[in-house]
Amino acid sequence: MRARRQRRRGIKLKHLGMIRKGKTTRRPPPKKPSNNQKDPVGVYCRVRPLGAEDEECCIEVISNTTIQLHAPDGLKANRNGEFKETQYSFKKVFGIKTTQRELFADVAKPLVEDLIHCKNGLLFTYGVTGSGKTYTMTGSPGQGGLLPRSLDMIFNSIGPYQAKRYVFKPDDKNGMEVQNQVDALLDRQKRDSQTSVPKTPTTRRTDPEFADMISPEEACKAGGVDEDSSYSVFVSYIEIYNNYIYDLLEETPFDPIKPKPPQSKILREDQNHNMYVAGCTEVEVKSTEEAFEVFWRGQKKRRIANTQLNRESSRSHSVFIIKLAQAPLDADGDTVLQDKSQVNVSQLCLVDLAGSERTSRTRAEGSRLREAGNINQSLMTLRTCIEVLRENQMCGTNKMVPYRDSKVTHLFKNYFDGEGKVRMVVCVNPKADDYEETLLVMRFAEMTQEVEVARPVDRPICGFAAGRRQRNQAFKDELTHRLEERGGPVDGESPTVLNQLLQSFHPLPPCEISGPNDDVTLPRLIEALEKRHKIRQMMVEEYNKTANMLKSVLQEQDSNLLSKENFIQEQRGRLGEKDKMIQNQKNEIDRLEKKSKMLEYKIDILQKTTNIYEEDKRSLQHELESREQRLQREMSEKRRMETRMQGIVTDAKLKWEKECERRVNAKQLEMQNKLWVKDEKLKQLKAIVTEGKTENRQPQRPSREKDKVAAKRSVSPSPVPTGPLVRPLHRRSHSAGGERWVDHKPTTNVDLDTVLQPNIPNAIKVNAPNEKALSKCDKYVLTHQEFASDGEIQTKLIKGEVFKTRGGGQAVQFTDIETLKQENPLAASRKRRSSETGPDGEPMERNWTDVETRCSVAVEMRAGSSLGPGYQHHGYPKRRKP
């Protein structure tokens, strides 16, 4: 059973939590965005004890926030066991043993504190008739309810700081004015003179009806009361019956013969959008007792009216309004500041609602039934308003809340629309008879706590320095003390200063009158008295002067003090600012220090890295240097080697060149010898052959001398191989006929005196080739001499054809070379001449004539050729530009 309950409660709470969560996100924007903090309506549940012990119970408190309803046996049967148990959660649940004091501490105390701190509050009790609403709100003797306790707490808190009566005076627009001291005094005197108005009771518990409501040891006090403000409490008490408002404190002359029915009041809205009962009596009260007396007065009136008009009190709503006016003391700390804008008025409404049951429990008939309907109507409106508010807040809708449909809701409109703290105590009677009504009450109560109300904001404080009241009090104390010292109090025991003064007066002369004709005593007495009178006047003047002086001095001192204090305050403010700045800078410094540490650390790391890199660099440089040195060394070594090698190579080359030349020469010689031998053999053979054939022709045999010469000469073959084998003695150019030659013979040539020299007719003989000669001819021949290695002289006939060039000059194209060899006739005397000094000095030709020709003659002889080596010679045609 227990476990099941727990589980159910868990589900219920979870459900509630979900609703709340949804609400915060979907709440519509407030109509008056003065502050955006909201609090849900605080709903508390109080369960009263059963009237009789044997009654059936349908409620169980299962925790300090949850109660459980059990359907009574009769209902269970009817409803097939459905909805057997339901749980409801509230901000707090108060069980049957809860004392009035405990309830007050939780429910009303915060509201009273708010009231003292200029914030409005609304507290109402809700429940069916007989559930303990009135008990909770008012209480009973010895068991004071929320109302007397609230009043008591207020007066305990502001008691010493209350303003004199009539300093605050309500205007007729729900506001509060500050009267000047004179007007207030006059009002007070007027009140005192009216005997009909009962005076404030001087002792507690004079009326037995509210005796012992609160025991003194239960006294409560609010904290943080501003001592430099002056306070006044005003109470109003109204009843709303059948949607009419009645002022329960209104003074109406009582007519026992024809009692006047009470006049209903109307609601108005003040400039702060707060609703108020127009023309409602507001009674200024100075103590708990006085306030309670006023309350009882209203109660009595209500009872009488109900009896007279045959009304049922459970059908009416009663509203007790506690208004607290507060205003700062002036700079002196003596009187309330005469500034209406500085007056703050807050109010706490304590509402004992009518029974919430749907139908009259007493068998209402006729007019009573109609009333019952109306009363129910106002509670219905309350429920509707709460529902719409909840919907608007949870779903973001903007439905109109029907506050105006009933006086109760209209009166408290601004608590829901504007700001304030709203609390509700739901009273329940656990008896089974009330089950169905209680169920409705519970549902309404749960819904109500989902409505949120804007939290009241703190009021700004006035600009005066704090501690004004204390200072003023201290000043007054000081003054009385001094006066006491001087003249003693009025009832003083030993007025020293006064005695001294009195002693300084001359004693009165004997004033016994001897007879009717005593002309001496009376004038003397008159004179003495006149003298005394004069002295007295002087003293009074003196006293006044001194007093005035003292007062001005004190005032001056006070203003000085005040300005000093203001200054101190200012300085404190500055100090605070500076402190903040210092704190900020400290934080900044801290931050920077941290940063610098961090950077230092980084620098350290970088330094280390740099060191490592530098070390690396150094070692690498070192290595580089050593390598460079090695390279240098190797290079120089290489150079040395190169030069050495070059030396060796040139040496070797020279050697081999020499060797080659030597060998070539040797070979040439050898070959020439061989050639010569063969030539000789061939000649001999030829001679033998021709001798036999031409014996009859008698050919002239050349002389031995000539043979020798002829044998020695080497005839270069003509380029025309078809020529005769033996040439005529006078060698003629085969192309002499018709052609014109340039015969170039350098002067250095040796006259060989031989027949083998060319003899060209019509040739132009020149020592050096010239343009003129070349232009006239078409053939060219150079006779070039040089010494062969064997000491013979070698003559070359270099032939060419002359062409006309495009530029108008001549070019020679060599076509043929003939080489003749002969013994140097100047061998002994003349030096061998180098071909280098050739007539045209062209090295190509020199080479060609010198080595090539000789080689081709010597080496390119074809073996077995029938023509012999002389005919194997080829002329290399070479083209060259002039």
Q: Does 869 bind ligand ADP (CB under 6 A)?
A: no
Minimum distance of ligand ADP from residue 71's CB (angstroms): 22
CB nearer Mg ion, residue 134 or residue 326? 134
Q: Which of 87, 120, 131, 236 binds ligand ADP (CB under 6 A)?
A: 131
Minimum distance of Mg ion from residue 354's CB (angstroms): 8
| Rounded (10°) CA dihedral 103, 105, 109, 111 | -50
**CA 97 to CA 90: how far, in whole Å?**
18
Applying CB under 5 A, the span of 37-45, 100-108, 129-137, 811-819 interacting with Mg ion comes to 129-137
Residue with tokens 């940063």: 595
Minimum distance of ligand ADP from residue 427's CB (angstroms): 6
Q: Does 132 bind ligand ADP (CB under 6 A)?
A: yes
Minimum distance of Mg ion from residue 314's CB (angstroms): 6
Q: Which residues within the stretch 324-353 sit at the binding site for ligand ADP (CB under 6 A)?
A: none
**CA 830 to CA 750: how far, in whole Å?**
10
The residues, ordered by sequence, that sit 6+ positions from 166 with a Cβ below 8 Å of its Cβ are 179, 183, 184, 187, 188, 191, 284
242 binds, among Mg ion, ligand ADP, none (CB under 5 to 8 A by kind): none
CA distances from 316 to 437, 825, 880 (A): 18, 180, 151
Q: Does 133 bind ligand ADP (CB under 6 A)?
A: yes
Minimum distance of ligand ADP from residue 128's CB (angstroms): 7
647 binds, among Mg ion, ligand ADP, none (CB under 5 to 8 A by kind): none
Please give the backbone phi and psi of residue 803, each rounded to the nearest 5 degrees, phi first. Answer: -115, 150
Q: Does 48 bind ligand ADP (CB under 6 A)?
A: yes
DSSP letter at 160 equals G
CB nearer Mg ion, residue 134 or residue 376? 134
Expressed in percent and rounded to 5, the helix, strand and coil fractions of the chain are 45, 15, 35
CB nearer ligand ADP, residue 121 or residue 430? 430
Q: Does 104 bind ligand ADP (CB under 6 A)?
A: no
CB nearer ligand ADP, residue 356 or residue 849? 356
Q: Three-class SS of residue 197?
A: coil
Minimum distance of ligand ADP from residue 90's CB (angstroms): 16
Minimum distance of ligand ADP from residue 410's CB (angstroms): 23
**CA 798 to CA 772: how far, in whole Å?**
20
**CA 263 to CA 250: how far, in whole Å?**
10
Please give the backbone phi and psi of residue 823, each rounded to the nearest 5 degrees, phi first. Answer: -65, 135
Minimum distance of Mg ion from residue 97's CB (angstroms): 21
CB nearer ligand ADP, residue 285 or residue 427? 427
**CA 122 to CA 127: how far, in whole Å?**
16
Applying CB under 6 A, the span of 134-142, 363-371, 447-455, 603-611 interacting with ligand ADP comes to 134-142
**CA 423 to CA 117: how far, in whole Å?**
17
418 binds, among Mg ion, ligand ADP, none (CB under 5 to 8 A by kind): none
Spell out a b/e string for 356-380, using b for 16 or more CB atoms within 10 Å of the CB, else e: bbeebbeebeeebeebbeebbebbe
Q: Which of 89, 98, 100, 134 binds Mg ion (CB under 5 A)?
A: 134
Q: Which of 42, 72, 121, 127 binds ligand ADP (CB under 6 A)?
A: 127
Q: Three-class SS of residue 357?
A: coil
Minimum distance of Mg ion from residue 140's CB (angstroms): 12
**CA 856 to CA 871: how far, in whole Å?**
11
Q: Does 717 bind ligand ADP (CB under 6 A)?
A: no
Q: CB of 666 within 8 A of CB of 858?
A: no
CB nearer ligand ADP, residue 133 or residue 779? 133
- Tally of CA atoms within 13 A in the half-sphere of 610 that contains its CB: 6
Q: Which residues within the stretch 511-570 sit at the binding site for Mg ion (CB under 5 A)?
A: none
Q: Three-class SS of residue 99?
A: coil
Amino acid residing at 468: R
For the chain, count helices (H), then strands (E): 19, 27
CB nearer Mg ion, residue 185 or residue 440? 440
CB nearer ligand ADP, residue 318 or residue 672? 318
CB nearer ligand ADP, residue 125 or residue 714? 125
Name the residue whose CB lies closest to ligand ADP. 132
Give just the sign of the alpha carbon dihedral 256, 259, 262, 263: negative
CB atoms within 10 A of CB 348: 26
Q: Which residues within the stretch 136-155 sit at the binding site for ligand ADP (CB under 6 A)?
A: 140
Helix axes 109-116, 100-107, angle to 10 degrees: 50
Q: Does 130 bind ligand ADP (CB under 6 A)?
A: yes
The token duo for 614 is 């530098």
Count residues near Mg ion (CB under 5 A).
2
Minimum distance of Mg ion from residue 361's CB (angstroms): 13
Minimum distance of ligand ADP from residue 310's CB (angstroms): 18
Applying CB under 6 A, the span of 12-20, 131-139, 554-562, 590-598 interacting with ligand ADP comes to 131-139
Rg (CA), the chain: 76
CB atoms within 10 A of CB 280: 23
CB nearer ligand ADP, residue 52 or residue 400? 52
**CA 68 to CA 287: how far, in whole Å?**
42
CB nearer ligand ADP, residue 118 or residue 427? 427
Q: Which of 10, 49, 576, 699 binds ligand ADP (CB under 6 A)?
A: 49
Count residues near ligand ADP (CB under 6 A).
14
Applying CB under 6 A, the span of 122-130, 234-242, 491-499, 825-833 interacting with ligand ADP comes to 122-130
The token duo for 773 is 């000669």
Q: Which of 741, 742, 877 is nearest to 814 (CA)?
A: 877
Q: Which residues within the stretch 348-367 sit at the binding site for ligand ADP (CB under 6 A)?
A: 355
Q: Does 134 bind ligand ADP (CB under 6 A)?
A: yes
427 binds, among ligand ADP, Mg ion, none (CB under 5 to 8 A by kind): ligand ADP
Q: Does 259 bind ligand ADP (CB under 6 A)?
A: no
CB nearer Mg ion, residue 240 or residue 327? 240
Q: Which residues within the stretch 426-445 sit at the binding site for ligand ADP (CB under 6 A)?
A: 427
CB nearer Mg ion, residue 296 or residue 676? 296
Q: CB of 29 within 8 A of CB of 454?
A: no
SS (H, E, C) 660-720: HHHHHHHHHHHHHHHHHHHHHHHHHHHHHHHHHHCCCCCCCCCCHHHHHHHHHCEECCCCC
Q: Does 306 bind ligand ADP (CB under 6 A)?
A: no
CB nearer ligand ADP, residue 107 or residue 766? 107
Please give the backbone phi and psi of residue 419, each rounded to the nearest 5 degrees, phi first. Answer: -140, 160
735 binds, among ligand ADP, Mg ion, none (CB under 5 to 8 A by kind): none
Q: Which residues within the stretch 685-704 sit at the binding site for ligand ADP (CB under 6 A)?
A: none
Q: Which of 738, 739, 744, 881 is nearest to 812 (CA)?
A: 881
CA 195 to chain centre: 74
Minimum distance of ligand ADP from residue 137's CB (angstroms): 8
DSSP letter at 176 equals E
Name the residue whose CB lies closest to Mg ion. 134
CB nearer Mg ion, residue 133 or residue 149? 133
CB nearer ligand ADP, residue 427 or residue 766? 427
Q: Does 769 bind ligand ADP (CB under 6 A)?
A: no
CA 757 to chain centre: 120
Residues making contact with Mg ion (CB under 5 A): 133-134
Residues that bind ligand ADP (CB under 6 A): 48-49, 127, 129-135, 140, 314, 355, 427
